[in-house]
Amino acid sequence: MEAQFEELIESFITGKVGQSGTFINQQLSAALVQNIMAHKERGVLKTAGIGSATQHTHATSIRSDKTLWLKEDTDNDAEKEFLDIIARFIAYLNRTCYTGINACEFHYTLYEPGAFYARHKDQFRNNNSRKFSMINYLNDNWMAADGGQLIIYHDDRDAQHILPENGKTVFFQSDALDHEVAVAHRPRMSITGWLKKV
Ligand code: OGA
Ligand code: MN
């Protein structure tokens, strides 16, 4: 995995938005998609909130994705494999960039057709523990016509439009960049999370 870790960190340093096209392998991605479908069937994916625990509101005019938090002590093999990759990435990042990350949180995310997330930043106003945002996409054969692009805004250049393609991971500083998710025209799945200092 070190090549992917390097790729993500190098592109982050050069352009503020790290990307690796091969962070989550096909087999793991397929297993995580199965989990999302099972959670959807069971009705445990919930309309996402905005704001931190003390200021939690549902605002479907701002976002309409559905989420479910991963548990640190999960006994699901795919989740264990995913969280193990994240733990190794955090160790690599701390060792090479002195970032001091000591916690993380990740949720499954499903955008059903028509869902979106309006322009926002990822750090809460009353809590700055989220240092880096990381989104891992799980969608086979995503086409531009499927919508659902991650749009990232920059002060010094044009906005970036990123397709949520299977295996791709995006990594950026949580307090730095405004971004949004364009309306998805087919189900759009990911595992989204934050590397934190608590
Ligand atoms: C988020 C977010 C982007 C994406 O969940 O905060 O900005 O591409 N997600 O899913
Ligand atoms: Mn965000």
Do the Cβ atoms of 190 and 109 come closer than 8 Å? yes
Atom of ligand 1 nearest to the CA of 65: 5
What are the structural domain ranges in the chain?
Answer: 2-50+62-196
Domain 2-50+62-196 carries which CATH code?
2.60.120.620
Q: Is 122 in the pocket of ligand 1 (CB under 6 A)?
A: yes
Q: Which two structure tokens, joined as six digits, stand for 92?
A: 């690599």
Specify the higher pLDDT residue, 125 or 184: 184
Angle CA 174–32–104, to nearest 5: 30
CA 108 to chain centroid, in Å, comes to 9
Do the Cβ atoms of 86 and 175 come closer than 8 Å? no
Residue 60 has what pLDDT? Answer: 72
Atom of ligand 1 nearest to the CA of 120: 7
Q: What pLDDT, in 10s, does the model give residues 43-66?
A: 999 998 776 655 666 677 899 999
Residue 52 has what pLDDT? Answer: 62
Residue 185 has what pLDDT? Answer: 98
Do the Cβ atoms of 41 and 186 come closer than 8 Å? no
Q: Is 192 in the pocket of ligand 1 (CB under 6 A)?
A: yes
How many angstroms separate the alpha carbon of residue 81 from the centre of ligand 2?
24
3-state secondary structure of 89: helix
How many angstroms separate the alpha carbon of residue 192 from the centre of ligand 1?
7
Q: Which two structure tokens, joined as six digits, stand for 172?
A: 């950026």
Residue 5 has what pLDDT? Answer: 98
Residue found under tokens 């692009």: 149
Average pLDDT, the chain: 95
Do the Cβ atoms of 138 and 166 come closer than 8 Å? yes
Q: What pLDDT, in 10s, does the model give residues 89-101?
A: 999 999 999 999 9
Residue 126 has what pLDDT? Answer: 87
Q: Label residue 115 by pLDDT band (50, 70, 90).
A: very high
Residue 58 has what pLDDT? Answer: 66
Residue 48 has what pLDDT? Answer: 81
How many angstroms separate the alpha carbon of residue 2 from the centre of ligand 2?
26
| Least confident range of 1-10, 14-23, 50-59, 135-144 | 50-59
- Ligand closest to the CA atom of residue 190: 1
Residue 9 has what pLDDT? Answer: 98
Q: Is 190 in the pocket of ligand 1 (CB under 6 A)?
A: yes
Q: Is 117 in the pocket of ligand 1 (CB under 6 A)?
A: yes
How much is the pTM? 0.94
Q: Is 191 in the pocket of ligand 1 (CB under 6 A)?
A: no
Do the Cβ atoms of 181 and 133 come closer than 8 Å? no
| Averaged pLDDT for residues 168-173 | 98
Strand extents, DSSP E, 39-187: 46-47, 66-69, 103-111, 117-120, 130-137, 150-152, 160-162, 169-173, 179-181
Do the Cβ atoms of 107 and 86 come closer than 8 Å? no
